[in-house]
């Protein structure tokens, strides 16, 4: 949700700063904001006591030996590769293909970002109800069809006869951005569930850090490869065929995820503490998002009081 909000507000705020102070002022303002936030966060840094495991020290590289983590790493990479392959060449395609004003294209990007932000809230509700892999399956399959209508794909020439329509492209991109949340958001929860099943504590900062690091590293790798490869594909085949290839990759992601779930089920490998093979074991469920945020702010506030030697006010009885 926060990423979607930044996508929607970033171009607007950047344009306003550019109009007021010029090109370099954008970097001065953003640099100043970053430096200020870094200073404030250093003051509110929460000291987390080191928690030792009763058996042995765990390392994130050991997770690569499991069946689940390498696959989810690959699935995350494919998702980001497909997403960046789409977005990296999208602007040039829209401008060169459709006779639309610049403000229409800019407004379209804002609408897509806002819808992504709203969809994050809806997807989070489903993930909190443990529809983790269901969301991903539906999203991968649905996007494999949506990608065919972006350009549209040459395989649909028997319907469109080579014609391109901006409203159809706009609607297809809107759906793709909305459904993208069903591919990405459940991945973090899936990795987190596997960490807990493999003995990592559920309410521990290091567990969330490992899950975030695994997802972020795969997203970064896909973010590097996606634009590079898609640029070469657009030069060779054109944007319509490139979106067709991303459609095939999305369908491949759906088939890979389906096969993965069948294999995990047939081998009785647990993917979360809700699986039958781990039910009844001693387990402390992870706290909800609201309780985690509440705990973070309480710790941050206490840290603030300690830094400035301020005693929090107490209401008189």
On the question of a cis peptide bond just before residue 76, with omega within 30 degrees of 0, the verdict is no
311 pLDDT more than 80: no
Beta strands in the chain (DSSP E): none
Q: What is the dihedral of CA 223, 37, 51, 55, to 10 degrees?
A: 10
- Give helix 239-266 / helix 132-146 axis angle, nearest 10°: 150
For residue 102, give the nearest of 21, 37, 15 by alpha carbon. 15
Give the model's confidence band at 315: pLDDT under 50 very low, under 70 low, under 90 confident, else very high. Answer: very low
pLDDT value, residue 57 = 47
Query: What are the pLDDT digits (tens) for 249-303?
Result: 999 999 999 999 999 888 888 887 775 554 444 444 445 545 555 555 565 555 5
Give me the mean pLDDT over the 219-224 stretch: 87
Lowest mean pLDDT among 10-14, 103-107, 119-123, 161-165: 10-14
148 pLDDT more than 90: yes
pLDDT value, residue 138 = 94
316 pLDDT more than 80: no
How would you write 73-110 as a 3-class SS string?
A: HHHHHHHHHHHHHHHHCHHHHHHHHCCCCHHHHHHHHH
Q: Locate tokens 């806002």: which residue?
A: 114
pLDDT value, residue 140 = 95
Burial 236-255 (b: 16+ CB within 10 A, else e): eeebbbbbbbbbebbbebbe
CA angle 94, 77, 169 (to 5 degrees): 20
pLDDT value, residue 213 = 82
54 pLDDT more than 80: no
Mean pLDDT value across the chain: 79
Q: How far apart are CA 17 and CA 247, in angstroms?
A: 38
Give the model's confidence band at 156: pLDDT under 50 very low, under 70 low, under 90 confident, else very high. Answer: very high
pLDDT value, residue 309 = 53
| Three-state DSSP class for residue 20 | helix
Length of the chain: 317
């Amino acid at each position: 949700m926060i990423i979607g909000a930044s996508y929607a507000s970033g171009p607007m705020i950047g344009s306003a700063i550019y109009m007021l102070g010029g090109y370099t002022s954008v970097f001065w303002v953003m640099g100043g904001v970053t430096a200020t936030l870094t200073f404030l966060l250093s003051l509110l840094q929460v000291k987390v006591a080191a928690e030792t495991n009763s058996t042995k020290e765990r390392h994130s590289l050991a997770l690569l030996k499991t069946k689940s983590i390498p696959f989810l790493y690959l699935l995350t990479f494919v998702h980001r590769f497909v997403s960046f392959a789409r977005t990296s060449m999208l602007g040039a395609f829209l401008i060169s293909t459709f006779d639309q004003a610049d403000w229409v294209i800019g407004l379209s990007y804002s609408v897509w970002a806002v819808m992504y932000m709203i969809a994050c809230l809806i997807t989070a509700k489903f993930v909190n109800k443990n529809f983790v892999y269901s969301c991903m399956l539906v999203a991968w399959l649905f996007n494999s069809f949506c990608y065919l209508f972006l350009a549209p794909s040459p395989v649909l020439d028997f319907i469109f006869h080579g014609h391109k329509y901006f409203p159809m492209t706009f609607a297809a991109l809107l759906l793709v951005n909305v459904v993208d949340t069903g591919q990405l958001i459940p991945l973090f929860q899936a990795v987190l569930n596997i960490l807990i099943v493999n003995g990592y504590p559920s309410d521990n900062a290091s567990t969330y850090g490992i899950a975030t690091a695994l997802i972020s590293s795969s997203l970064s790798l896909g973010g590097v490869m996606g634009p590079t490869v898609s640029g070469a594909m657009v030069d060779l085949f054109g944007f319509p065929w490139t979106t067709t290839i991303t459609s095939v990759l999305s369908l491949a992601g759906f088939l890979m995820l389906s096969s993965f779930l069948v294999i995990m089920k047939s081998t009785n490998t647990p993917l979360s503490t809700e699986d039958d093979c781990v039910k009844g074991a001693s387990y402390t469920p992870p706290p909800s998002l609201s309780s985690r945020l509440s705990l973070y702010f309480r710790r941050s506030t206490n840290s603030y009081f300690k830094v400035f030697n301020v005693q929090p006010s107490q209401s008189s009885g």
